[in-house]
Structure 1
Amino acid sequence: MSRLPAFPVAGGCACGAVRYVLKASPLGVYSCHCTECQSLTGSAFSLAMSVLRSDFEVTQGALSTWMRTADSGAKIPQRFCSTCGVRVFTEPPGGPHSVTLRPGTLDDTSWLHPVAAFWTRSAQAWVALPADTLTYETQPTDYAPVMKAWRDWTQG
């Protein structure tokens, strides 16, 4: 049994100017509670979905780029809709093989299940994480446990 939808799935920005397709299952879904994500989303955390670049395609619209500088000094391109400003994906500094999709931009979000939470040391005190969530006080250096937890969860 799989908890995943039939791929491809589609998504886009709030105004509809940008559309994309995700052709295969993500590598993992997680929440990030760092203060930067809190600021970027205007909320308590952000959701993130690691996907292979080859499985992701922007099919419509123009994206703009804002270069965010992480505390580490790494430059992280933020790709957002030129019209409504919704951040659609991020290009992680780890390499060109993947992108970090913002899963709230999917047309159907009912199947999302974050299996990990990053930067829990700066999480809002009222945020309660499920017991089966992998937690990291800061940024993990090894994503293999997150990807394994995602594979395990999808198989139900």
Structure 2
Amino acid sequence: MPGSRTASCACGALRITLAGEPSRVYACSCLECQRATGSAFSYRAVFAKEAVAVVEGERSTWRRGSEAGRWVEQTFCPACGTLVFMEGEGLPGSVSVSVGCFADPGFAPPSTLHRASRRHGWYALLPGIGSTG
């Protein structure tokens, strides 16, 4: 599909193909994202739900709360455990895809770091990246 991109889990069993460009790209250093990724922050691209062309493969979901008190539903591969995408009460009509799952080192950088007060001390923001919370 022209103008599309596909994100997949580590083992390749779960794939999501999206049309067009993301509406925004962000990082988040809230404690929930740190736990979900096993890293110091998450790095995600937000697409309109209508941009989802196809989701292929077996998947599992887990719904959790957020620091803002809203639900977030994470979709991951049951074989390798990679969190590929998620939907959230705070972003209706959108899907947030883990940027690392695109395996594209040239992917756009985040424009914002959410929950900056939770970031690790060594994590310095590049010029041009705003922060919230």
Question: Is the 2:70–2:88 Cα contact (8 Å) retained in structure 1?
Answer: no
**Partner-residue secondary structure (3-state), 2:61:** strand
1:26 corresponds to which of 17, 22, 26:
22
TM-score (norm 1): 0.78
TM-score (norm 2): 0.90
How many residues in Structure 1 have an aligned counterpart in Structure 2? 132
> Which amino acid counterpart does residue 112 of structure 2 have in structure 1?
A
Q: Which consecutive segments of 4 or more residues in structure 1 shift more than 6 A? A: none
1:75 corresponds to which of 71, 82, 89:
71
Larger proportion of strand: 2
1:92 corresponds to which of 79, 88, 93:
88
Which runs of 5 or more residues in structure 1 are unaligned? 1-5, 139-156
> Which amino acid counterpart does residue 64 of structure 1 have in structure 2?
S
1:62 corresponds to which of 50, 58, 64:
58
Separation in 2, partners of 1:72, 1:115? 20
Q: Deviations over 1:59-87 (max 9, x none)?
A: 42011111112234322111111211111
Q: Deviations over 1:5-47 (max 9, x none)?
A: x721122000010122121100100110111111111111110
Separation in 2, partners of 1:46, 1:35? 10
**Partner-residue secondary structure (3-state), 1:91:** strand
Cα 1:33–1:95 change in 2 (3 A) is: closer
Separation in 2, partners of 1:16, 1:58? 15
Q: 2:6 — aligned with what?
A: 10
Whichever of the two has the greater Rg, that structure is 1
Give the % identical residues: 35
TM-fit CA distance, 1:129: 0.4
> Which amino acid counterpart does residue 112 of structure 1 have in structure 2?
A
Q: 2:122 — aligned with what?
A: 126
TM-fit CA distance, 1:110: 1.5
Question: Is the 2:113–2:129 Cα contact (8 Å) retained in structure 1?
Answer: yes
RMSD across aligned positions (CA): 1.6
Separation in 1, partners of 2:15, 2:67? 31
Larger proportion of helix: 1
